[in-house]
Amino acid sequence: MASMREIKRRKSSIQSTKQITNAMKLVATAKLQKAKANAEETRPYFKRTMDTIGSIIHKSRGITHPYLTERTVKNKGYVVITSNRGLAGGYNMNLCKLIMRKESDKEQSKIIAVGKNGRDILKKNGYAIIKEYHDMVNHPSYRSAEILGKALLKMYEVEELDEIYIAYTSFKSTISHEPQLIRVLPVDVEQFEAVESEKHLMTFEPNEEEVLGHIIPRYINSLIIGALREAVASEHGARMTAMDSATKNASEIIDRLTLEYNRARQASITQEITEIVGGAEALK
Partner 1 sequence: MSDNQYQLQVITPERIFYEDDVTMVTFKTSEGEIGVKKNHIALTTPLVSGLMTIKYNGSEKKAALHEGFAEITPEQVTILADAAEWANEIDVERASEAKARAEALLEKDSPDIDTIRAKAALLRALTRLEVSHYQGEK
Contacting positions for partner 1 (CB under 8 A): 41-42, 44-45, 48-49, 52, 55-56, 142, 145-146, 199-206, 210-211, 214-215, 218, 221-222, 225
For 80, phi and psi rounded to 5 degrees?
-110, 115
Give the residue with the Cβ less far from partner 1, 83 or 221.
221
Which of 108, 76, 58 minimizes the C-alpha distance to 184? 76
Region at 113 (left for phi over 0; alpha for psi -120 to 50; beta for the rest): beta
Give the residue with the Cβ less far from partner 1, 113 or 223.
223
Give the residue with the Cβ less far from partner 1, 133 or 142.
142
CB 73 within 8 A of CB 192: no
Least distance CB 227 / partner 1 (angstroms): 13
Q: Is 49 helix (H, G, I), strand (E, B) or coil?
A: helix
The Cα–Cα gap between 242 and 240 comes to: 5
Interacting residues of 136 by C-beta distance below 8 A, sequence separation 6+: 114, 144, 145, 148, 228
Three-state secondary structure string covering 152-177: HHHHHHCCCCCEEEEEEEEECCCCCE
Least distance CB 41 / partner 1 (angstroms): 6
Least distance CB 52 / partner 1 (angstroms): 5
Give the residue with the Cβ less far from partner 1, 95 or 232.
232
Give the residue with the Cβ less far from partner 1, 198 or 275.
198
Give the residue with the Cβ less far from partner 1, 72 or 203.
203
Least distance CB 213 / partner 1 (angstroms): 9
Give the residue with the Cβ less far from partner 1, 52 or 92.
52
Least distance CB 206 / partner 1 (angstroms): 6
Least distance CB 177 / partner 1 (angstroms): 22
The Cα–Cα gap between 156 and 148 comes to: 12
CB 118 within 8 A of CB 81: yes
Three-state secondary structure string covering 255-278: HHHHHHHHHHHHHHHHHHHHHHHH
Least distance CB 208 / partner 1 (angstroms): 9
Region at 15 (left for phi over 0; alpha for psi -120 to 50; beta for the rest): alpha
